[in-house]
Amino acid sequence: MPRTLPFFVLVTIAAVLGDGAIPTELHAGGMANGIIRGRVEVRRTTTNSDRRPTVASLGAPPERERTIPKQSVVYLQSAPRGAFEQTDPGRAVMDQRNETFVPHVLAITTGTIVDFPNSDRIYHNVFSLSKPAKFDLGRYPVGRSRAIRFDRPGIVRVFCDIHSHMNAFILVFSHPYFALTDGEGQYRINDVPPGTYQVVAWNEGVTSDPKPAVVPDGAATELDFLLR
Amino acid sequence: MRPLRSLQSRIFLASALLTVLSIGVAIYLVSLRVNREAESSLQADIVATRALVDQLRTTRADTFTMMARLLADTPKLKAAVDTNDPPTVQDVADDNQERLHSNLLVVTSRSGQVLAWVGGTLAEARLIAAHPSTRAALEGGEGFDLLPASEGMLQLATVPVSIGLEHPEVLGALSVGFLLDDELAAQLKSVTGTDVAFGLDGKILASTLPSDLRDEASSLLSALSPRNVTLGPEEYVALALPLAPGDKGPPSSAAAVILRSREPQARFLREINTELVVTAVVGVLLATLLSFAVARTITRPLAAITAVMRDVASTGDLTRKIAFRSSRRWQDEDARLLATTFNTLTESIARFQREISQKERLSSLGRLSTVIAHEVRNPLMIIKTALHTLRQPDVQSAAIREAAADIDGEVARLNRIVNDVLDFARPIRFELGTVEVNALCRESAVAAQATPGPPVSLTLSPDVPSLTTDGEHLRLALVNLIVNARQAVDARQPVAATASGGVVEQVDSPVRVSTQATDSQVVITIADAGRGIDPVDLPRIFDPYFTTKRGGTGLGLPIAKNIVEGLGGTLAVVSAPERGTQIRIELPRMAENNRRTES
């Protein structure tokens, strides 16, 4: 069957990240690294707040923890040379509580092993069909945990095949220059070698246009994003 | 109207008519009722079928929407759509289409591109991806549409593929289509027995009708009330059902047409009518036979009674009885009663007749005794006197002769009396011959005038023909009557004017004998100007031994009447006291004298 659809934009970005970006500027060692910080504002209208209850809502628990505002991720589209060697793969945790993946957004570097413990009171499953990591951890009971290592950069969306509303994003980067926003949308990327970079903000599958950022020697630069 | 004269025919016709009428009315009513019931059941059927199709349509719409929702909610599909990778989505779509048995399944990406499709063509899939319902689904809404398809009409449920609870994120849209095709129409027909057609925009897309009738049927898509229509060879009642695509869908021209053939109803009515007609014919035949039989139970005894009556009338045999003990035809009570009554009647008549004749005999005997006592004693006295004379010692020869003559005369008179009595008592034996009536009258008048008395005038018509009759007896009767007439005149006019014994042709004569001929009769009239008959005596003048005259036997008139009637004629008397009497004898020209040979 012929496929004429354009690939999803995020996939393209992930591919670019995976290939390794070419640094736009080189700096000699010994210079102090700078900081990129700012605020990401998400103004997304909820289009279907009045829609009828779906089948999905039928099985949902009546009460749940108020979810924190969806976090955004800000990252450098292109990383400085040698950045890939600086990754320090470790372990990360994506918990499952109250039929929710916690955290909803996880940003890691390649090679990181993510544990998916089941801290709920029911069985769960974790799977993904995303290009960078297609996997299915199967269903497992409360108290168990399963893990998987993410080796390819990109955006991986995970689901639970028992609970259709459960989903989470794992953004896998090949460099360490990324940051999650806090409750107020503030972010801070530390240790950025001085130079000029293209910076992108991501929120729930929506990416901003790359914005150029000049990181001065040992100082901070401000960069705000507005996502619609 | 001649057939109605007979009781049998009347009973038979009335029963048959009544049967035909009642059966006819019954058949008419039954037929009317059956027709009405069939028509109303047809209407009810078509309305019920429409309700069924409507329910089916709603159920299908709900079911398909639910299916689409369930499918859109599967994590697999969500995960696949989220990848935005057509091969990934296609695998999931293939799996699900197999499970749903849908005719079409299209997955559209968030940006409105076709991610995967199963069934149909890419062009169709793109059309669906561009459909307003799909765009609405990408905004989080749902849609249910009816679309024309190559094999019929497509019921298409479109739902968003979204994730998340509080702020659902739309990943794409899923459209699931099911065909309203000929196969579904055929299934509906097998359930409801009704033809079904689905159409859109004035065009039939799927139906159970043959393809050549679809164009004709397309006008029925707007028949919102039952409409009679002829499609090809068959007659249908058609009713359209607008197919609103869904609860919230825009108005559409899609409709289903329910077509109920009148043929089964017509066949049913034909069968009923045939059965009714057969029943009617059999009923009429049976009723006819039955009424005929019933009529015969009455008329056969009647015919038997009539036959016996006729027999009794012709033979005068009152001992004849209707024998009904043995025969089965007499089971009818009324006929038995009639026959019994008839038998009783004839018995009574016979008994009365016997009593009357006994009485008559006794009274005749009484009167005869008086007559004989008087008539016989007189001659006997004269004879005795004559014998006394003869016994005298000195009888003269002249006296002897006179005595002998007296004895002789009185013996003759006695003999005549005996003859008269015998004549009346004995049966008359007629001896027929050709008789000249005028000559007979003339001879009778001469004979009657042998004794002195008034003259007899004759007025004889020359047209009077000869008759075949008994001349001797007729003469006896005429002589008797003419003698009576002369005596009647004598009684009024004791002094007779004539002494002549010849026939005087005199118009104003006190006794007139005339003849006259009509077409069928010869009439002899004997008229006198005598003293007439007392009205009190008139009814009795033909009774034997009734007389008002001294020396009469009272047998003259009865004998004359017996003779005339015995010859087939009639004898009538008209009389006025002190004016005269007229006796009219009518004799038939055609001889019927042999009709009766005995009095």
CATH number of the domain within which B459 lies: 3.30.565.10
- Collect the ranges in chain B with pLDDT lower than 50: 1, 247-250, 495-507, 592-599
Q: Is residue B363 part of a domain?
A: no
Domain final position from B199, B234, B266: B266
Looking at B446-594, which runs of residues are DSSP E strands?
456-459, 466-469, 511-517, 521-528, 570-576, 580-588
Q: Which residues of A touch B141 (CB under 8 A)?
A: 48, 51
B190 membership: H or E segment, kind and range? helix B182-192
Q: Is residue B540 part of a domain?
A: yes
Position with higher pLDDT, A196 vs B365: A196
Domain final position from B251, B266, B281: B266
Asked whether the beta carbons of residue B140 and residue A48 sit closer than 8 angstroms, the reply is yes
Position with higher pLDDT, A15 vs A200: A200
Q: CB of A129 within 8 Å of any CB in chain B?
A: yes
Torsion angle of alpha carbons A195, A197, A203, A207, nearest 10°? Answer: 180
- List the domain boundaries for chain A: 9-44+68-212
Q: State CA B443 to chain mean position distance.
A: 66
Q: Where are the alpha helices (DSSP H) in chain A?
A: 9-19, 55-58
Domain final position from B245, B266, B287: B266
Q: Is residue B345 part of a domain?
A: no
Per DSSP, the residues of A179-217 read EE--TTSEEEEEEEPSEEEEEEEEETTEEPPPEEEEE-T
Pick the CATH number of A9-44+68-212 from 2.60.40.420, 2.40.110.10, 3.40.50.720, 2.30.40.10: 2.60.40.420
Tokens of A135: 């996997």
- Domain hosting B457: range is 428-494+507-595
Among the listed residues B270, B258, B180, B194, the one whose alpha carbon sits nearest the alpha carbon of residue B224: B258
- pTM (2 decimals)? 0.56
Burial of B181 (0-12, 13-18, 19+ CB in 10 A): buried
Q: Which residues of A touch B162 (CB under 8 A)?
A: 48, 54
Chain A residue closest to B118 (CA)? A1
Asked whether the beta carbons of residue B86 and residue A3 sit closer than 8 angstroms, the reply is yes
Position with higher pLDDT, B424 vs A171: A171
- Predicted ipTM beyond 0.85: no
Q: Is residue B581 part of a domain?
A: yes
Q: Is residue B411 part of a domain?
A: no
Tokens of B174: 């899923």
Q: CB of A6 within 8 Å of any CB in chain B?
A: yes
Position with higher pLDDT, A56 vs A67: A56
How many domains does chain B divide into? 2
pLDDT given for residue B596 in this prediction: 42
Find which of B81, B165, B170 to mutate to test the A interface (most A CBs within 10 Å of its CB). Answer: B165
Asked whether the beta carbons of residue A164 and residue B78 sit closer than 8 angstroms, the reply is yes
A204 → closest Cβ in B111, B166, B169? B169
A51, pLDDT greater than 70: no
Q: What is the CATH number of the domain that holds B167?
A: 3.30.450.20
Number of A to B CB contacts under 8 A, please give it: 91
Asked whether the beta carbons of residue A47 and residue B170 sit closer than 8 angstroms, the reply is yes
Q: Is residue B379 part of a domain?
A: no
Q: Is residue B365 part of a domain?
A: no
pLDDT digits (tens, 9 = 90+) for B160-209: 998 887 778 889 999 999 988 888 889 888 888 888 888 888 888 888 88
Q: Is residue B347 part of a domain?
A: no
Chain A residue closest to B90 (CA)? A1
pLDDT given for residue B172 in this prediction: 93
